């Protein structure tokens, strides 16, 4: 994997909105919040735009904004403004040679999962599933420290949840492989396309927000029937924020995750605080990951 150079204080972070537009907050306040951590900030055109009501500019503009940030030698890292919807509309419009030839820290989550998958698989670029710019005014110490640790680790990185959040063993065992994944809805949407996620001998990370448990069941079964759960070496289930029962008698989310994991007999853990949560962990996608589901431990190695 292409490992981007570490980010240091004084470097420049470029902001882009490759998915949805900024709906809450002010871009200048966001810029000031990031600058308060010691970074220069350069704002992409897409951060100021709205198109069709739910996109941050038209498809061509958003795709070009991605390319411009990778081509700009003054930019050291690229952070997405927010998620929403729109990545699937630009996957066939990006020149991936630009990304491959100009590896940089790239960070975001949710809808940004689509770019993580293609950057990992097509561009051989290690990317970061983590904080987005619109939350900068609310970053807590744990969240910012996890971001810094993830993008700067050299040889080894051990991941720990916030103190009051427990990691649960779903299925005992050890697993290793490059980490890939992100948002469940976005992972599922790649199936059957040329951007389909490859989970062979990898550790699959999954998170989700705002879905009924039966819909989580449907998407996980889709991954199961597509062979993606059989192919992976282990499963890390992250935060499932506001994923709730449709009927009172429905199973709990942890029961569903255990059933799915047992179907493929893969080591699995649940409730890693990565996803639509705060405090939030940043995870290095594409990095070598070693997980012990029995002791709920996760380590990354270069």
Whether residue 123 has a cis bond before it, omega within 30° of 0:
no
What share of the chain in percent tops pLDDT 90? 96
**227: helix, strand or coil:** coil
What share of the chain in percent tops pLDDT 70? 100
- Give the bridge partners for 108, in sequence order: 129
For residue 5, pLDDT beyond 90: yes
Q: According to the model, what pLDDT value does residue 251 have?
A: 86
103-116 pLDDT, tens per residue? Answer: 999 999 999 999 99
Positive or negative: CA dihedral 270, 272, 278, 279: positive
Q: According to the model, what pLDDT value does residue 50 have?
A: 95
Position 13 confidence tier, pLDDT thresholds 50, 70, 90: very high
Classify residue 92 as exposed, middle or buried by CB count within 10 Å of its CB (0-12, 13-18, 19+): exposed
121-154 pLDDT, tens per residue? Answer: 999 999 999 999 999 999 999 999 999 999 999 8
Chain mean pLDDT for the chain? 97
Residue with tokens 């997980």: 291
CA distance 300 to 302: 7
Q: According to the model, what pLDDT value does residue 240 have?
A: 98
CA distance 243 to 245: 7
Residue range 239-255: average pLDDT?
92
Q: According to the model, what pLDDT value does residue 249 have?
A: 84
Catalytic residues: 110, 207, 276
For residue 248, pLDDT beyond 90: no
For residue 1, pLDDT beyond 90: no
Residue range 212-236: average pLDDT?
98
For residue 9, pLDDT beyond 90: yes
33-77 pLDDT, tens per residue? Answer: 999 999 999 999 999 999 999 999 999 999 999 999 999 999 999
Q: According to the model, what pLDDT value does residue 210 have?
A: 97
Q: According to the model, what pLDDT value does residue 25 have?
A: 84
């Amino acid at each position: 994997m292409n490992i981007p150079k570490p980010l240091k204080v004084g470097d420049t972070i470029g902001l882009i909105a490759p998915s949805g537009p900024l709906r809450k907050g002010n871009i200048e306040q966001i810029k000031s919040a990031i600058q308060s951590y010691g970074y220069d900030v350069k704002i992409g055109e897409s951060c100021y735009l709205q198109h069709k009501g739910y996109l941050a500019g038209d498809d061509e503009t958003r795709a070009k904004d991605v390319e411009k940030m990778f081509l700009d030698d003054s930019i050291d890292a690229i952070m997405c403004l927010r998620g929403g919807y729109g990545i699937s509309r630009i996957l066939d419009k990006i020149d991936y040679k630009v990304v491959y030839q100009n590896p940089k820290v790239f960070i975001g989550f949710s809808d940004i999962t689509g770019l993580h998958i293609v950057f990992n698989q097509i561009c051989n670029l290690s990317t970061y599933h983590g904080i987005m710019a619109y939350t900068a005014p609310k970053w807590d110490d744990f969240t910012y420290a996890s971001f810094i640790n993830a993008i700067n680790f050299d040889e080894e990185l051990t991941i720990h949840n916030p103190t009051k959040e427990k990691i649960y063993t779903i299925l005992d065992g050890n697993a290793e492989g490059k980490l890939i994944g992100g948002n469940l809805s976005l992972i599922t949407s790649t199936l059957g396309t040329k951007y389909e996620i490859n989970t062979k001998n990898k550790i699959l990370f999954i998170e989700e927000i705002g879905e009924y448990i039966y819909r989580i069941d449907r998407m996980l079964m889709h991954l199961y029937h597509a062979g993606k759960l059989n192919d992976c070496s282990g499963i890390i289930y992250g935060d499932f924020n506001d994923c709730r029962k449709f009927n009172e008698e429905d199973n709990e989310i942890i029961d569903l995750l255990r059933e799915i994991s047992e179907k493929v007999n893969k080591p699995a853990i649940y409730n890693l605080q990565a996803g639509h949560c705060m405090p939030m962990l940043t995870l290095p996608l594409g990095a070598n990951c070693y997980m012990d589901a029995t002791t709920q431990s996760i380590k990354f190695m270069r």
